[in-house]
Amino acid sequence: DAGVIQSPRHEVTEMGQEVTLRCKPISGHNSLFWYRQTMMRGLELLIYFNNNVPIDDSGMPEDRFSAKMPNASFSTLKIQPSEPRDSAVYFCASSLSGGRDIQYFGAGTRLSVL
Amino acid sequence: QKEVEQNSGPLSVPEGAIASLNCTYSDRGSQSFFWYRQYSGKSPELIMFIYSNGDKEDGRFTAQLNKASQYVSLLIRDSQPSDSATYLCAVGGSGAGSYQLTFGKGTKLSVIP
């Protein structure tokens, strides 16, 4: 079975540009999570969707970050405008129904903002 | 602020030995506990999960939970060089926030052949 699919795997952009990261959760999973991983802060939850609805966006760092989930099989995380401090690995994860269910991670997108 | 603490390591063990990884957490209401393995440049991969006090075994891996002490551990028996990775402890939130995983910064394990 296909796992969580993320694209692109690597993104290099210049400060001020818009960046869009994409995620396809595991089929049948109704919960989706976006995380950011840095050496300094480790792995942090940015936003949580359940049944395509954003439930918890308290981890979104600022208004430059936005996330959408237009349907059960697709989500985007957008950064506009991007800044060098946004450089990190961004992971998408999905779980069967949220709660205590196991979260399965995608391969991640390594973002570098120059 | 929920916290999950792990020794950063590196923890070095010889091949065939038992590796012991530890984790403490601050949210006394947490009900779910996970160990993820992350190879360099890769994504976190679930190794074990545990919900109840005591031990849970799966192959060479044993997770141990002590909620009174707010302590979780992972034992890896017969350690192999392929076990060399960073191990992340993740703790679920309490109540309606049970979906919210707080991750430790990980312990880097090195298994020496």
Query: pLDDT tens across B24-81, in order?
Result: 999 999 999 999 999 999 999 999 999 999 999 999 999 999 999 999 999 999 999 9
Indicate if the pLDDT at residue B94 is higher than 90: no
Residue A42 half-sphere exposure, CB side, CA atoms within 13 Å? 19
Indicate if the pLDDT at residue A22 is higher than 80: yes
Residue in A with minimal Cα distance to B106: A42
What CA dihedral angle connects B66, B69, B70 and B71, to 10 degrees?
-60
A25 at interface of B, judged by CB pairs closer than 8 A: no
Interval A64-98: pLDDT, tens:
999 999 999 999 999 999 999 999 999 999 999 88
Across chain A, mean pLDDT equals 96
A91, two tokens: 């992971």
Interval A35-45: pLDDT, tens:
999 999 999 99
pLDDT category at A23 given cuts 50, 70, 90 is very high
Residue with tokens 């973002």: A111
Distances (CA, A) of B89 to A52, A54, A112, B7: 27, 25, 27, 11
Cross-chain residue pair A42–B100, CB shorter than 8 Å:
no
Q: Which of chain B's residues have a Cβ under 8 Å away from the Cβ of A107? A: 42-43
Cross-chain residue pair B31–A100, CB shorter than 8 Å:
yes
Indicate if the pLDDT at residue A1 is higher than 80: no
Nearest-CA distance B110 → chain A (Å): 19
Q: Out of A42, A102, A106, name the one closest to residue B105 (CB).
A: A42
